[in-house]
Amino acid sequence: MGKSKICLRDYVKDGCVFELTEKEKNEVLKTLALKLKELGYVEDDKSVDSVYNKLTEREKLGSTGIIKHIAIPHCKTDEINTDMVILVGYSKTGIDFESHDGKPVHIIFAVFTKKNKVTLHLGALAAISRLISKHSISSKIEDFLSKEKLKEITEECEYEI
């Protein structure tokens, strides 16, 4: 099996980068699920509830607030009508995400993939991790708290899976 490139821009479509005003993790997870409906990636409120439940179940395994000021909540769900979608939210005030380091989260990269797209799911998580590292996002968080800057860096296409 040969390697291929994952282009984040293929999965971060118009409307997928937005400001978050919520202060608590569960509120943010609900907003992410609702955003999928707003953007047409899920059909109805039942689908929104299903995605929200999958996100909260994943968080019970351990917070996805994994690095200073950044969280990467993710789940595999057949509720979405595409192979994968990535939402990017930012908060200027910070979100209590029960992160491992205890710090508030300011940027969220949320990954949603179909259940049978395991390689794509893992590739997206790896690409996001490399993006965070490449741009030193966690150490310069205030430089990335805008829709324009986050959209700019998700336009990159250089991550092999």
For the chain, percent of residues with pLDDT exceeding 90: 76
Taken in order 6, 7, 8, 12, the sign of the CA dihedral is negative
Domains recognised in the chain with CATH numbers? 5-160 (3.40.930.10)
Whole-structure pTM value: 0.93
State mean pLDDT over 144-157: 89
78-108 burial: b if 16+ Cβ within 10 Å, else e:
ebbeeebbbbbbbbeeebbbbbeeebbbbbb
Confidence band for 157, pLDDT divided at 50, 70 and 90: low
Contact yes or no for 31/48 (Cβ under 8 A): no
DSSP secondary structure letter of residue 44? S
- What pLDDT was estimated at residue 1? 44
DSSP secondary structure letter of residue 141? G
- What pLDDT was estimated at residue 161? 52
Instruction: With a cut of 70, say whether residue 160 has pLDDT above it.
Output: no
Backbone dihedral angles phi then psi of residue 108, each to the nearest 5 degrees: -125, 125
Give the count of alpha carbons within 13 A of 86, CB side only.
Answer: 25
Confidence band for 50, pLDDT divided at 50, 70 and 90: very high
